[in-house]
């Protein structure tokens, strides 16, 4: 793997890789910004809220512990607590102490939260379709395939510069 002749072909296309990366990052950030703007204007909500709702929907009626949720969201604990507090105040989620250990809190969706999540998820999907509708079905599949191949390579090389 470390043989120099493994590296040479990569450096040859590094300019092209850089250009592809710049399109990738701009495309991602624009889509992210777009979805986030749309959530704000159409649902008075945010990507982080959507993220919380989706995790709780997936967790089912028992919900999940605050710390498990924080781990999935990868945000700092303080931020999560404030976010959850606001969502509780809005009636989207509720907090329940665990039956086995009263020090542990579970959060779960309320009926309203579930309804809000479904509406947001439907829009989310429709927006994705509109945004990427510029590409034909064949091109979409082609792009997915290309990104998967980049992803597989990135997974192998993470944390190993020069490998």
Partner 1 sequence: MNTDNTATLPASTMDTAREISRASDHGQDDKAALRLWLRLLPLTTLVEQELRSRLRQRFGTTLPQFDVMAELDRAGEPQTMSALSRRLLVSGGNVTGVVDRLERDGYVERQPLPSDRRVQLVALTAKGRSEFAAMAAAHEQWLGELFAGLPPDDLHTLHDLLGRAKAAVRNVVASALEPHGRS
Tell which positions 91-120 bind partner 1, by CB under 8 A.
Answer: none
Q: How far is CA 54 from the centre of its chain?
A: 10
Q: Select from 15-23, 83-91, 93-101, 106-114 the region that touches partner 1 (CB under 8 A).
A: 15-23
Place of tokens 């945000």: 75
Q: Tell me how far apart the alpha carbons of residues 139 and 136 are, in angstroms, rounded to a whole number.
A: 5
Paired residues of 97 in beta bridges: 105
User: Using an 8 Å Cβ cutoff, are 120 and 45 in contact?
Assistant: yes
Check residue 65 for interaction with partner 1 (CB under 8 A).
no
Helix (H, G, I), strand (E, B) or coil at 95: strand
Q: Is 53 exposed, middle or buried (0-12, 13-18, 19+ CB in 10 A)?
A: buried
Among 1, 4, 11, 44, binds partner 1 (CB under 8 A): 11
CB of 99 to partner 1, least distance (A): 26
Among 4, 61, 111, 159, binds partner 1 (CB under 8 A): 159
CB of 100 to partner 1, least distance (A): 26
Residue by residue, what is the 3-state secondary structure of 22-84? HHHHHHHHHHHHHHHHHHHHHHCCCHHHHHHHHHHHHHCCCCEEHHHHHHHHCCCHHHHHHHH
Check residue 15 for interaction with partner 1 (CB under 8 A).
yes
Q: Select from 18-26, 83-91, 93-101, 107-115 the region that touches partner 1 (CB under 8 A).
A: 18-26
Check residue 127 for interaction with partner 1 (CB under 8 A).
yes
Q: Of 41-60, which residues contact partner 1 (CB under 8 A)?
A: 41-42, 47-48, 50-51, 54-55, 57-58
Among 85, 86, 98, 147, binds partner 1 (CB under 8 A): 147
């Amino acid at each position: 793997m470390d043989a120099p002749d493994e590296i040479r072909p990569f450096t040859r296309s590094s300019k092209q890789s850089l250009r592809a990366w710049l399109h990738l990052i701009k495309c991602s950030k624009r889509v992210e910004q777009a979805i986030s703007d749309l959530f704000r204007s159409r649902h008075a909500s945010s990507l982080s809220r959507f993220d919380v709702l989706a995790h709780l929907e997936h967790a089912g009626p028992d919900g999940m512990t605050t710390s498990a949720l924080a781990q999935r969201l990868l945000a700092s604990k303080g931020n999560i607590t404030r976010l959850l507090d606001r969502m509780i105040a809005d009636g989207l989620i509720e907090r329940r102490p665990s039956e086995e250990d009263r020090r542990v809190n579970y959060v779960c969706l309320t009926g309203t939260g579930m309804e809000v999540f479904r509406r947001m998820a439907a829009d989310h999907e429709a927006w994705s379709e509109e945004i990427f509708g510029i590409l034909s079905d064949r091109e979409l599949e082609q792009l997915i395939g290309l990104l998967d191949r980049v992803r597989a390579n990135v997974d192998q090389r993470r944390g190993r510069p020069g490998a």
